A and B are shown apart, each in its own frame.
Chain A
Amino acid sequence: MIDANGLVRRFGPLVAVDRVNLAVGAGEAVALFGPNGAGKSTLLRMLATLLQPDAGTLAWFGRSGHGGRRDARRRLGLLSHQSFLYPDLTPAQNLAFYARLYGVEDPQRRAAEWLRRVGVAGWGQRPLRTLSRGREQGCALARALIHGPEMILLDEPFTGLDRGGVDMLIDVLRDFVERGSSLILSTHDVELGLAVCQRAVVLRRGRKVWDGIVGGAARAEFDEAYARIFATAPGNSHA
């Protein structure tokens, strides 16, 4: 589905992503871990076609270049730090707008379905800016999935969510993967990341330092490697 080879992205003198290779196939759920500034968001933005790499190749669903990017935008979903939703419109208006943008049939019905799915149906007709962070994140998830993407990219999706919001998000994402779709998710929280994903990729200073399936005996190996990486990451107090 996504095949990245030798991706590099610089911001001035800073190399945010440094020669990263990443291939993600159908039905795979990949968690991107790493300290702050490891390059997770930059990598996700490149995969989401929002940022051009300075070097390396990137193919989506077997296609690269301008045509590949255009096609990918139709087939990808993106959940970012920001909701991409208009605060003055209602959740129902926002979702119907994005549904129309993606050419979804019967946008209002789909919007209503998704509002129910993410537990925001009762707030569908109020301006988005009056909703709590958790409900807004639920709407953002619905926005990212309303067009039925084959892969979803999520950047720190658990941030600011209460327990109920986290459970809803995990439930929706598990269901998404079980249907054969793929996801790539960046998070600081290993437990939450691995609650959804079977494969972990660890970035540090823009470079991929670990990539593998995490489960059973491999979990201990991953935990050890992850603790080692974090322990040596400058300015990071996480463990």
Chain B
Amino acid sequence: MREILTLVRKDLDVEVRTKETLASLLLLGLLTLLVLSFAFDPTSAMRAEAAPGALWVAVTFAGVLALGRAFLIERENDCLEGLLASPVDRGNIYLAKTLSTFVLMAIAQLGIVPVFVLFFDVEPTPALVGVLAAVMLGVLGLAALGSLLAAIAVRTRAREVLLPLLMLPLIVPAFIAGVRATQDLLAGGSLAAAQPWLGSMLAIDVIFLVVGWLLFGAVVEE
């Protein structure tokens, strides 16, 4: 645990100094929501139907951006090699990167979700807590899958293209569940009604975390 906390603290120290990742995530998420909010007539029912999809598009774009940056800081000065030469367990490097990426993405979502509520005229009901929970589960899945795939992509020349190409097809099931959970919750359904979707997302997150933890060592070893 000490190793994981040390690594997470380092990532957050870098972010505190640069403020690059959080600013980019917020900006991209907000711009995505702004553009999508203009795509639908404010008085049309379609706007309400499209709202969950718009939220998850913003979550996805911001997530891809965050993961691209997460391993970029390890690439400069070959810092990843410094971590690999240290006695830190490879699995802990993976878990730490997942955790620090999740923290940054989660903070960004705390800014993005209220703007979504504003732009899409969503009723501020207790159901929004469920929506936020779904978003956090989606973000955790993105961080867990993306941290593994970003470690592969960062060593290639086409990393900016490769990461979304590898990640998006695999994250789709989790995001479909996220969209459906958000739909149910915004349509006035209870948290219990959305529970099957949230449960699916949690299961997918656990699978990504376990697979990532098991494979990370093999991915980074030469």
Q: Give A residues with C-beta under 8 Å from B.
A: 45, 48-52, 70, 73-74, 76, 78, 80-89, 93, 97-98, 100-103, 127, 143
Option from A73, A88, A100 in Cβ contact (under 8 Å) with B73: A88
Q: Give B residues with C-beta under 8 Å from A.
A: 2-3, 6-7, 9-10, 13-14, 17-18, 73, 76-79, 81-88, 221-222
- Docked-complex contact B84 and A87, CB < 8 angstroms: no
- Docked-complex contact A86 and B76, CB < 8 angstroms: yes
27 sampled A-B residue pairs with Cβ under 8 A: A45-B222, A48-B85, A50-B84, A51-B222, A52-B222, A73-B86, A73-B87, A78-B82, A78-B85, A80-B78, A82-B78, A84-B81, A85-B77, A85-B79, A86-B73, A86-B77, A87-B76, A88-B17, A88-B73, A89-B10, A89-B13, A89-B14, A89-B17, A101-B87, A102-B86, A127-B17, A143-B82
- Docked-complex contact B14 and A86, CB < 8 angstroms: yes
With contact pairs A86-B73, A88-B14 given, residues A50 and B85 touching in the complex (Cβ less than 8 Å): yes
Option from B2, B10, B73, B77 in Cβ contact (under 8 Å) with A84: B77
- Docked-complex contact B6 and A97, CB < 8 angstroms: yes
Supplied contacts A76-B85, A80-B81, A101-B83, 4 more A-B pairs, CB within 8 Å: A52-B222, A85-B82, A89-B14, A143-B82
Task: Please measure, in the bound complex, the distance between the C-alpha atom of A52 and the C-alpha atom of B221, giving whole angstroms.
Answer: 8
Task: Please measure, in the bound complex, the distance between the C-alpha atom of A98 and the C-alpha atom of B17, giving whole angstroms.
Answer: 18
B16 nearest CB across to chain A (Å): 9
Instruction: Work out how many contacts link A and B, with CB atoms closer than 8 A.
Output: 71
Q: Which residues of A contact B221 (CB under 8 A)?
A: 52
With contact pairs A87-B77, A88-B17 given, residues A98 and B222 touching in the complex (Cβ less than 8 Å): no
- Docked-complex contact A49 and B85, CB < 8 angstroms: yes
Task: Please measure, in the bound complex, the distance between the C-alpha atom of A50 and the C-alpha atom of B9, giving whole angstroms.
Answer: 24
Task: Please measure, in the bound complex, the distance between the C-alpha atom of A74 and the C-alpha atom of B17, giving whole angstroms.
Answer: 29
Residue from the set B3, B18, B79, B82 with the largest chain A CB neighbour count within 10 Å? B82
- Docked-complex contact B10 and A86, CB < 8 angstroms: yes
Residue from the set A51, A84, A100, A102 with the largest chain B CB neighbour count within 10 Å? A84
Top 5 A-B residue pairs of the complex, sorted by shortest distance between their CB atoms: A84-B82, A82-B78, A74-B87, A73-B87, A100-B6
Q: Which residues of B contact A82 (CB under 8 A)?
A: 77-78, 81
Task: Please measure, in the bound complex, the distance between the C-alpha atom of A180 and the C-alpha atom of B112, giving whole angstroms.
Answer: 58
Residue from the set B9, B18, B87 with the largest chain A CB neighbour count within 10 Å? B87
- Docked-complex contact B81 and A98, CB < 8 angstroms: no
A153 nearest CB across to chain B (Å): 9
Residue from the set A80, A85, A101 with the largest chain B CB neighbour count within 10 Å? A101
Option from B2, B13, B73 in Cβ contact (under 8 Å) with A93: B13
With contact pairs A100-B6, A127-B17 given, residues A86 and B79 touching in the complex (Cβ less than 8 Å): yes
